[in-house]
Amino acid sequence: MDAEAPQIPHVPLTFPLLPTEIRVQIITEAAQHSPRGHLAAVSKEWQLFIEEKTFESLVFDDIDQLKFLDWYVTGKREHLVKRICLNVELSCVWTFSCFLTALFAHLGRWTKGDLTLEINAYSPSDSDHFFKGYYVGDPDEDEAFGDARTFDDARHGFSPDGQEVPLARDTREVYDMMDLSDLSLHQVRVIKRLLIRRQCRRQFTTDLLFRLLASLPALEHIHYEPWRMSDEKFQDGQWYPDFGILISGHLPRNLKTLILFEDFNELFFPDVPPSTRVPNAQTSRSLLHASLNLEHLSASFMVDAQDFFDASQTCCQDATWERLEFLALTSRLVDPADKDFGLTNLLYAAGIFALRAPRLRTMILWYGNKNKAYAFIYKRDDTSITWHGTRDFHMNQQRITQI
């Protein structure tokens, strides 16, 4: 009789006995599907993971939803929140003010956190005045886009054959200026990054921006993408001078990164050709003063790099940019249309500036227009200068030596 084979002890394959990597993969896959709140009841390990995923990015499109912060985001969970997006539907002029005030009142009580605040404001009627199905910021954007029933609306210039140029009054409504002079906000120290994308068509007055920045003393990063205004006289004569005062003397002390991008679409403003836009030189000078304490600066279309570098030689002759590591600016001179003499002079001025920024690792000078784009890129780490563009620019040895 054969000896009986030894029995293998029965060890139940329970979830805690799986390797850590396998457990994480399983939880991660499960967390991809919504709703996922019930998964937190599986175990303490699942709860910690699901809470981290649930609270890291919060989107609020109704003021009543802010109660969620009081009910669920208590002391020990505050540090889990990394991003808050305020997506405000403008049902009336005070909606935005009430929403922002309520959010800052909530966050003003927080003592822990490292937050990114993203702000968007829109009106559902925007699509009546613009391209059908073009619901910027609307929570139902995906469902609304492409509805054939919205393409026939002669009253707003839409027909099955296409769309007429938007009327000036319709454009002004979509790109309306939000002036909240009575806005009073609590100080919030847990917001470190402020993001206002170009998807936000509403314009912010400089007074509103001042109040917003004054309430965020711990801010380290600003990413602001305003749209070019149809009223250039107001923009260059009032808005940009006031904006220059703001950025040159009223930015948060801890600010490290400033990214500014002025967007423009010639389809929306056919009477204002982009080629005629001349950036305000005073804005470049204001930005120069702001850059003295920055590590990362990017400014597109609202300034010209030549004005920036000229100001560095006239207004700040003895200054050095000890912290600056990254610089990206636009300039019309980067478009080497028929002669590239202006571009050579620009690069020469850029080289002089680089000598006064000992920590500068990357400099990008670029320009873009319809069917055209050019970029000069300097990188210190790999000791390289590169030209990319829809037109060649020959960097011969004599030119490099001059620069």
pLDDT on residue 151: 46
Cα torsion 301, 304, 305, 309: sign: negative
pLDDT on residue 11: 40
Q: Residue 71 contacts by C-beta under 8 Å, 6 or more apart in sequence?
A: none
Cα dist from 233 to 114, 122, 266, whole Å = 39, 25, 18
Q: The pTM is what? A: 0.85
3-state helix, strand, coil in the chain (%, to 5): 40, 20, 40
pLDDT on residue 262: 93
pLDDT on residue 139: 54
Q: Which residues pair with 118 in a beta bridge?
A: 85, 195
Task: Flag residues of the chain having pLDDT under 70.
Answer: 1-13, 34, 93, 126-174, 181, 266-277, 336-339, 395-403
Q: What are phi and psi of 207, to 5 degrees?
A: -65, -40
- At how many degrees (to 10) do helices 305-314 and 341-355 cross? 50
Residues in the chain: 403
Verify cis geometry, omega within 30 degrees of 0, for the bond prior to 35: yes
pLDDT on residue 71: 85
pLDDT on residue 177: 72
pLDDT on residue 77: 84
SS3 state of residue 366: strand
Residue with tokens 């109660």: 67
Contact 158, 151 (CB under 8 A): yes
CA dihedral angle for residue 32, residue 38, residue 41, residue 46, rounded to 10 degrees: 10
Q: What are phi and psi of 214, to 5 degrees?
A: -65, -25
